[in-house]
Structure 1
Amino acid sequence: MKDNILSPYYPSMSKRTYNILEQIQVQVSVTHNPYSIPLDRLFSMAARNNKKRAFLFVSHVLGKHIPVNPHVSLLSGVCLALLLKQEMDGDVPENLIAIAVEGLIDPSKAKVAYSEIIESGLSLSQPVTLIGFAETATAIGHAVYHTFQAWKETCSFIHTTREDIKQLESVISFNEEHSHAVAHYCYANDPKLLKDPETIVLVDDEITTGKTSLNIIREIQAAFPKKKYVVLSLLDWRTEEDEQKYQQLEMELGVTIRTIALVKGGIDVSGEPVLSTENEIRAMASSERSDSIEIMFVDRFFEHVPCSSQNDQGYENHSPYLKYSGRFGLDSHENQEVDKSIAEAAAYLLSTRIGNKTLCMGTGEFMYLPMRIAAEMGDGIYYQSTTRSPIHANRSEDYAVQTAYPYPSPDNPAVLNYLYNISPGMYDELYLFFEREAEPEAFRHFMQILDSLQLKKINIVFFSPSVQDWKGVQRNHG
């Protein structure tokens, strides 16, 4: 793999120190930046309300905590896909790399860049299964997979999940030890998705210690032995000691483990954690429901899986899941059907837009389909997603998280979710995407937050068939 394919924004090694709210200092040393992408284009820093890890790299390309052009998020997956193809098949045409990176750096060029690369017909020479990690990497994992539109052989994608689906058995289960939500499950409809290919590709947004990848590799190897694993990430901050653990596992299991990242380096952290109190991050919300809320359903455009889930409070949700979300596995034969469903749903939602500046918002793990739909809903679209990740908000200049709204998750009220970086009057309208319906009462606090944002219209979009009674709220079936 060549370094500095584009103009060299960085020499072979560069250092930068981030001072987070005058309490935490993070020195970043970049040792590998193959596509010469400026760090400021990839992330900024924030304090994290988590004793296990006091800071967070807040991505500018994921579409999670910061609103982005949805095509930029998709291109982050494309860039990882190009690195994967270089690893597996040799060189990639440099013009495609230049197009992808230019679109990633300049959002005004992202849409054209993404379309050109998808239409180029990239493929891999051998079948692989790609696995995206919940919750943050579900979309980029899917975007990597979707980049290869001209598969020579059948390849597959699945993402891990924290959903407790009672009718299904997880084919592999593992822990993400540093996370606020530790347990991961993997519900593959067809175990051949993990059994058949010789190579498994794990996709994550960031590797700090790499323990999560080591944990899942052990689980996969015990059930579905492989010859090679590739760990693909936007950022890789592992120490030499962490890297040695990968080498030790290679020897122990008799496998090859390759790690590839857009940026690789090291971090040195000093200072004290910044721990928020509830009052510091709670938003002021209206006590009355807005008349501008519309409940929308796009279920007729998608196929479903009739499974129920149980949350931490014992409530069973019988709304079906989406078949092609990635949670249950996909292979290349299903790509055309997924694209068709996305295009139809996007065309319908585009016809309902009233504003020039519109925020489309995924929820939790449900990121990729909303992102793809947002990308086809016209100009003036921004995309981001809600998250479980607790981050300290502060309005200091250049700080990554300016506002934070905590609320009980409608899917699981025992779990606190967050909406970041949105202020009153910032957008004309909002499209809030949920994979499944839940009880209307479970949305009460979220609705209050949305009411405080001075939006002309709030569209709550469900991808499951209607099973609830939303009294006094306009409903619209696509």
Structure 2
Amino acid sequence: MLTFPTLSRSIALPTGRLDITVEEAAWPLDDLCDFAARENPRRGFLVVSRVLGRHLPVAPRVMRRSVRDLAARIPADLPGPVMVVGLAETAVCLGQTVHEELRLASGRDDIHFIHSTRQRLDHPLLCRFEEPHSHASAHLIYRPALPRPRSLVIVDDEISTGTTLCNLARALVEAWPEVEAIVVATLTDWSAGRGWQARMPRPARVASLLTGRLAWTQGQAPVADAAFDMAAASLGRMDAHRNFGRLGLDAPVADPPSAPLPPVAGPLRIVGTGEFTYLPFRLAERMAREGHDVVVQATSRSPARVAAAMKTRLCFADNYGTSVPNYLYNADPADRRTTWIGHETGAATIDPALIAALDARLIGWDA
């Protein structure tokens, strides 16, 4: 695999200055990520992935290639069973695709998957942990009906301080003391020199496509909004639910949409919603194989300013039924793409304002 030279860069954002140093990279920095200003007094910047299919539209072949390269850096001989854990909401699709690639590459059938969630279900809880820099800090992990793991592969899109990863690993090891080894798989690792691996409850290593350092100089911080923080911290409630990963999977899920797909001519955008992103990505891969020009992106709970990597922003109601504002970035109706919105929550839950803004069709995997 090619490696790219070290570099340093200073990035001016409306909320402050980000100084970055890339120390080692299997992909060029500008192919992997961009940066944006975050509306959060606890953390004023956002690393915006160019390969994740969340804040920026991405061709599914690029998403697949980046995950394949990342999965290839994870040791193949981890003690089994192995549990791949994706972090909501941003890394659900990433984690699920890592799980798929690990099984394909190794031929092992003892590699399983689960993701954290901010949705309450009628199911026993395994553990809860906190993501301190996020508005919505609480994550839930439900107890899967799967063998207890000896290895964990924790998947997130980027590492900054490592605190969230330590919180998650401690919670999982307390629930599963048989765990012997931990791998953290991430697209970009900015935690060099922070020493967080020494705080992990078991020996831990990192697999990434880029490692480096970042230093944040806060500028004018947003004023804390207690009402917004209370809303953002709220958990959703799913009374009807199909298991697409929240309750654990012993093999990759490949469910088709609930109804036939509408006809499409010309370029296509497929939008996942919140934590429901893997099956919209798989649908995008299918449409690309059929010859369509298709990109993938997803809605987000993360409030960011229209500046730097964020060229446009739509704001609308949360389809999971909380009072948390949701956003879709860089989905410009002027690009004349047909838009399909993939959801697991029922057509009536999708804000009509979002549908109208993109003249979108709804594609459901309803419970």
For normalisation by structure 1, the TM-score amounts to 0.69
1:414 to 315, 320, 323: 323
Amino acid at match of 2:170: R
Is the contact between residue 172 and residue 185 of structure 1 (CA under 8 Å) also seen in structure 2?
yes
Find out whether 1:390 has 2:307 as its counterpart.
no
2:165 to 199, 202, 213: 213
In 2: Cα distance, 1:270 partner to 1:405 partner = 28
**CA 65–274 in structure 1, closer or farther in 2 if over 3 Å, else same:** farther
What's the offset of the Cα at 1:127?
Answer: 3.5
1:178 paired residue number: 133
Aligned partner of residue 143 in structure 1, secondary structure: helix
Within a 5 Å distance, the mapping from 1:119-138 to structure 2 comes to 126-138=80-92
1:76 paired residue number: 66
Find out whether 1:425 has 2:327 as its counterpart.
no
What's the offset of the Cα at 1:422?
Answer: 1.8
Find out whether 1:228 has 2:181 as its counterpart.
yes
Is the contact between residue 131 and residue 157 of structure 1 (CA under 8 Å) also seen in structure 2?
yes
In 2: Cα distance, 1:411 partner to 1:376 partner = 26
Greater relative CO (CA pairs within 8 A, separation 6+)? 2
Is the contact between residue 355 and residue 428 of structure 1 (CA under 8 Å) also seen in structure 2?
no
After superposition, the C-alpha distances for 1:62-110 in whole angstroms (9 at most, x for unaligned) are: 00011111222222221211010xx344xxxxxxxxxxxxxxxxxxxxx
Is the contact between residue 116 and residue 140 of structure 2 (CA under 8 Å) also seen in structure 1?
yes
1:24 to 16, 19, 37: 16
2:47 to 49, 57, 62: 57
1:164 paired residue number: 120
Is the contact between residue 191 and residue 213 of structure 2 (CA under 8 Å) also seen in structure 1?
yes
Is the contact between residue 41 and residue 223 of structure 2 (CA under 8 Å) also seen in structure 1?
no
2:156 to 204, 215, 240: 204
What's the offset of the Cα at 1:353?
Answer: 2.4
Is the contact between residue 197 and residue 205 of structure 2 (CA under 8 Å) also seen in structure 1?
no
Unmatched runs of 5 consecutive residues or more in structure 1: 90-123, 279-310, 466-478
What's the offset of the Cα at 1:385?
Answer: 0.2
Find out whether 1:9 has 2:4 as its counterpart.
yes
In 1: Cα distance, 2:79 partner to 2:181 partner = 15
In 1: Cα distance, 2:161 partner to 2:233 partner = 29
Amino acid at match of 2:137: V
After superposition, the C-alpha distances for 1:320-371 in whole angstroms (9 at most, x for unaligned) are: 3222x11111113xx4xx34x34xx49942xx22321111100001011111
Root-mean-square deviation (CA, aligned residues, Å) is 2.7
Is the contact between residue 388 and residue 417 of structure 1 (CA under 8 Å) also seen in structure 2?
yes
**CA 315–256 in structure 1, closer or farther in 2 if over 3 Å, else same:** closer
| Bigger fraction of residues in strand | 2
2:216 paired residue number: 269
Amino acid at match of 1:410: N
In 2: Cα distance, 1:9 partner to 1:315 partner = 42
In 2: Cα distance, 1:238 partner to 1:77 partner = 20
Is the contact between residue 271 and residue 297 of structure 2 (CA under 8 Å) also seen in structure 1?
yes
Is the contact between residue 346 and residue 373 of structure 1 (CA under 8 Å) also seen in structure 2?
no
**CA 171–46 in structure 1, closer or farther in 2 if over 3 Å, else same:** same
Is the contact between residue 346 and residue 376 of structure 1 (CA under 8 Å) also seen in structure 2?
no
Find out whether 1:189 has 2:144 as its counterpart.
yes
Amino acid at match of 1:9: F
In 2: Cα distance, 1:130 partner to 1:173 partner = 17
Is the contact between residue 28 and residue 266 of structure 1 (CA under 8 Å) also seen in structure 2?
yes
Amino acid at match of 1:141: G
Is the contact between residue 127 and residue 154 of structure 1 (CA under 8 Å) also seen in structure 2?
yes
Find out whether 1:142 has 2:96 as its counterpart.
yes
**CA 234–135 in structure 1, closer or farther in 2 if over 3 Å, else same:** same
In 2: Cα distance, 1:317 partner to 1:173 partner = 17
In 1: Cα distance, 2:269 partner to 2:224 partner = 28
Aligned partner of residue 300 in structure 2, secondary structure: coil
After superposition, the C-alpha distances for 1:381-435 in whole angstroms (9 at most, x for unaligned) are: 11100000000013xxxx2101111112122241111011122332342111111
Aligned partner of residue 280 in structure 2, secondary structure: helix
**CA 428–269 in structure 1, closer or farther in 2 if over 3 Å, else same:** closer
1:331 paired residue number: 250
Amino acid at match of 2:245: G
| Bigger fraction of residues in helix | 1
Find out whether 1:321 has 2:241 as its counterpart.
yes
Is the contact between residue 131 and residue 201 of structure 1 (CA under 8 Å) also seen in structure 2?
yes
1:368 paired residue number: 278
Aligned partner of residue 376 in structure 1, secondary structure: helix
Unmatched runs of 5 consecutive residues or more in structure 2: 226-231
Give the length in aligned residue pairs.
355
In 2: Cα distance, 1:431 partner to 1:180 partner = 28
In 1: Cα distance, 2:131 partner to 2:235 partner = 24
Amino acid at match of 2:248: G
**CA 428–236 in structure 1, closer or farther in 2 if over 3 Å, else same:** closer
**CA 276–368 in structure 1, closer or farther in 2 if over 3 Å, else same:** farther
Q: Which runs of 4+ in 1 moved over 3 A?
A: 124-127, 273-278, 311-318, 345-348
**CA 347–375 in structure 1, closer or farther in 2 if over 3 Å, else same:** farther
After superposition, the C-alpha distances for 1:27-70 in whole angstroms (9 at most, x for unaligned) are: 1111222x2x1100011111000011101111101000111112
In 1: Cα distance, 2:156 partner to 2:300 partner = 16
In 1: Cα distance, 2:94 partner to 2:190 partner = 19
In 1: Cα distance, 2:70 partner to 2:182 partner = 15
In 2: Cα distance, 1:269 partner to 1:428 partner = 36
